[in-house]
Structure 1
Amino acid sequence: MKAFFRLIALLEGVSYILLLFVATPIKYLNGDPQYVKLLGMPHGILFMAYIVLAIWLKPKYKWNQRTFITVLIASIIPFGTFYVDKKFLKA
């Protein structure tokens, strides 16, 4: 299950970076919302999957409250899921 969570964390992080640093500038600088629409839904699904998996895995990996909150907050910070992978998931 850890490998699956790592994959979701990676994909969520990449989709967030693409959304923030590629699609959003294109939308506001070129007036083309196509890329935001294209990346928005997959990112939303990956975000929800990341949160659900983090909640589900909390007892399995015996994360204390601070670690768990860090894992959750990482999903809203650019590059945060990569930190989580390196710090808490890579074994």
Structure 2
Amino acid sequence: MDLKTAAALRRLRLVSAPEAASFLILLVCTLLKYTTDFNAVPVLGPIHGVLFIVYVLFWADAWNRARWPLGRSALYLALSILPTGGFFAERMLARECEEAVAAARTKQEQGAQDAQEQEPGQAVTPA
């Protein structure tokens, strides 16, 4: 994976927890709306809606860049519609992002070592 893929995973990771928190708060506010006079749903509904749309957009970008298999991409999308799923997605994406950054750095270092091993008169050919 390259650093752009790691960045896409990081963006998805960063929006997953706030999206999950907004979903839980919206559920509590919906319950309070029907049991008390407190009604914050008109405020929290659009906030959660925007966070969900951002999550889906970042999910599509990460899926495109990371080339996830269908099962993994469906899992991340399904986690966005479960009340606490975003928290689990954040943890899974944290591990995946760390692995992507480590792989990109290893690839970059290997390329630098290969370039140093070339003789000064030879042209460097891309791998």
TM-score between the two structures when normalised by the length of structure 1: 0.87
| Identical aligned residues as a percent | 30
Letter in 2 for 1:42: I
Return the structure number with greater helix share. Answer: 1
Matched residue count: 88
User: In the alignment, is residue 26 of structure 1 matched against residue 26 of structure 2?
Assistant: no
Aligned partners of 2:10, 2:60: CA distance in 1, in Å?
16
Aligned partners of 1:53, 1:4: CA distance in 2, in Å?
7
Aligned partners of 2:37, 2:77: CA distance in 1, in Å?
32
**Residue of structure 2 equivalent to 1:47:** 52
Structure 1: runs of 5+ lacking an equivalent: none
Displacement after TM superposition at 1:61 (Å): 1.9
Displacement after TM superposition at 1:25 (Å): 1.2
Q: 63, 78, 82: which is aligned to 2:83?
A: 78
| Worse-matched range after superposition: 43-52 or 4-13 | 4-13
Report which of the two structures shows the higher radius of gyration computed on alpha carbons.
2
Structure 2: runs of 5+ lacking an equivalent: 1-6, 99-127
